[in-house]
Amino acid sequence: MKNTFLKRILVGFFLVLVTFSINAQNSPIKYGKVEMADLQMKSYAKDTAAEAVVLCDFGTHNYTYRSGQGGLKVVYERHRRIKILKKAGYEWATYSFALSNSRTGTAREYALNIKGATYNLVDGKIVTTKLEKSSIFLEKKSENLMIQKITLPNVQEGSVIEYSYRIESDFDTEIRTWEFQRGIPTLWSEYQVKVPDFYQFQLITQGYEPFVVSSITKESLNFGPGLESVAATYYRFVQKDVPALKVEPYITTIEDYRSQVEFEISAYVPTGGIPKHFSSTWNDFSKTLTNYDNFGRLLNKGGFLKEVAATIKATAKDSLSKIQAAYNYVAKNMTWNQQRSFMASGSLKKAFEAKTGNSADLNLMLIALLRELDIEADPVVLSTRDNGRVLDYYVLERKFNYVIAAVDVQGQWLLIDATEPSMPLGTLPIRCLNGKGRWIHGESGDWVELKTNEKLAKTLIANFEIVPEGQIKGQLSINHISYAAHDERMEIKRDTKAKYIDNLKKSHNNWEVKKVEFEDENEIERPLQVKLDLNINEGVGVAGDRIYFNPMIGEGENKNPFTTLERKYPVDFGTLIEDSFIATYTIPKGYVIEEMPKSMRVNLPEDAGRFAFMVAKSEDVITISSKITLKKTMYFAEEYELLKRFYDQIIQKHAEQIVLKKAQ
């Protein structure tokens, strides 16, 4: 199943290579020619919840010769038509795209021929409202980036909108990524790219939707009268009836699963000239990073840490103690500014003096300190979960956005992130658990698995008595373990303990909390315990001579996170999961048990998950035990139905009640 998943995510080079000349296909729609059937459409049969539908999205990328200027210019053209079905779809009437400028100002992109229109059906006739110049905006984001925006006029439920534009670009080694899939369904999406053969590109595709057309053909490219034709490669990709890309629970980022094609320049090979290669090997990548001023070169400039290292050496006698002390120093004395990067913001010494920095400042500083302690430490660059997965097929520096420290301890990697002081040594934040990272060791390196045996775990232990008047009272201990402990400690630190308690009460409005105690609040190696004395005033029903209550006291599973009938991409929890609940209930004198849940066990295939619900009674005490264990961090699409059914069974069991009856 794993191989199937990887094939779906990344398909490297495409299917057909034909060595004959072929003319580009025309757009399936013509600007201004709107079909009456599209205007009359009330809903989209394949997705009746859709707020809008892309009727057609057509784009081309070509090269043209710049007369009198020398060299080639890129021409990118796009034409899109959208049906608006509901008010929520009005947002699709506003569209923006990026235009780049080089830092030196010698290369630019220009938007030309922007036009658009809204079509409405009024008394059986098509009424056209054209895009006005006042609704076309150019916003400067930085010296190197401009955002072109348009807003279509007179949009209503039932409207059809369309717009087209042309971009002329001096960036001849860049091809815009084409997304076939977006948050609404798409009936037809097509991208045509024609590239002279002296440019060589890597083709990178991803997604789960099939191509109607996916061809790579050879043809000649003519730049105009008096100019020789050159050999060219023509790419054509078409997808049709593409479903909306919808965010599902437990994924890295939805961008990992969007159907798209992108191109990465690999070489420029001029006729009779010297080839220039842009792509590199992973060892070249290591060499490049090692020689960056804001990366590798900083690691040998740790002189400002000598006093810190000397203090650590005076007390820490073995390697592991030194590593722990170095981690403690950076994590507790530096503050992460929440900015993620694998490149330092500047001098590590300046960050050290300011006591704050981005993720690279802190973790490269940790590596430099470890080296001052004669510990061999190296960086591992990675992509965080919300940034998407790293492609090990292609050397793409832009896919990385984070760096951590790596130390080899007795043949095992110890991976360290100093940005989270409430994390124990060697426990990576969940954001870093994203497949694999690249270890940088001088001019070489290797892949490192970013995984954990730590759990997102919580155990509730309760000792309650049932009051005949309809109340549960007693003690409850909530034990937050590993990642759960970190999350709770961060909440306490961020909001104060008083606010934490207030939030706890608000999230359980039927709990009357009498007393709260915290144990091991600052002991990050241990679980965080929150102990409560409480009365539960609701959730216990009294009807005649019977008492009804749910023994999970609102802490059970009551909503399945997996609601769709099927799922195309994996369920990625990031960590192992374990939830336990153990409660004893002393029943009031004069009552007997009339009904209570039966014990139950559910196992996923290959022991990938377990649910155990056990019920026992002894005289006037009922003991309830529930434990949910997910033993894998990722479940593939083929396992989705079983996982969904697994949660359905848990929810059903957690909803069952205990019924007590007054003895006769």
Q: What percent of the chain has pLDDT over 90?
A: 84
Percentage of residues in the chain having pLDDT higher than 70: 95
Whether the Cβ atoms of residue 458 and residue 579 lie closer than 8 Å to each other? yes
Q: Give residue-wise pLDDT tens across range 283-300.
A: 999 999 999 999 999 998
Model-wide pTM > 0.85: yes
Q: Which residues of 284-297 are buried (b: 16+ CB within 10 A; e: fewer)?
A: ebbbbbbeeebbbe
DSSP-derived secondary structure for 533-553: EEEE-SSEEEETTEEEE-TTT
Tokens matching residue 146:
């401009």
646, two tokens: 């697994």
Give CA–CA dist 539/653, Å, rounded: 17
Domains of the chain: 2-277 (2.60.40.3140), 282-449 (3.10.620.30), 455-662 (2.60.120.1130)
Which class for 566: exposed (0-12), middle (13-18), buried (19 or more C-beta within 10 A)? exposed
* pLDDT at 211 > cutoff 80: yes
| Separation between Cα atoms, residue 196 and residue 217, nearest integer Å | 12
pLDDT in tens, 251-287: 999 999 999 999 999 999 987 788 888 867 999 999 9
Segment among 346-360, 459-473, 537-551 with least mean pLDDT: 537-551
Question: With the CA atoms of 103, 109, 110 and 114 taken in that order, what torsion angle do they form, in degrees rounded to the nearest 10?
Answer: -130
Instruction: Report which listed range, 127-131, 504-508, 533-537, is most confident.
Output: 127-131
Residue 11 reports pLDDT greater than 70 = no
pLDDT at 9 (0 to 100):
38
Interacting residues of 228 by C-beta distance below 8 A, sequence separation 6+: none
User: Residue 619: its pLDDT value, please?
Assistant: 86
pLDDT at 393: 85
SS (H, E, C) 92-159: HHEEEEEEEECCCCCCEEEEEEEEEEEEEEECCEEEEEECCHHHEEEEEEECCEEEEEEECCCCCCCC
Whole-number pLDDT of residue 528: 97
- What's the Cα-to-Cα distance from 369 to each of 326, 328, 354, 438, rounded to whole Å? 7, 11, 17, 21
Neighbours of 525 (CB within 10 A): 9
- 150, β-bridge pairs: 95, 136
- Give the residue carrying structure tokens 């420029």: 268
Question: Residue 527: is its pLDDT beyond 50?
Answer: yes
pLDDT value of position 394: 86
The pLDDT, as a whole number, for residue 580 is 98
Query: In sequence order, which ranges of 394-532 are alpha helices (DSSP H)?
Result: 483-495, 497-507
Tens of pLDDT, residues 635-647 = 999 999 999 999 9
Task: Give residue-wise pLDDT tens across range 570-604.
Answer: 999 999 999 999 999 999 999 999 999 999 999 99
120 touches 156 (CB < 8 A): yes
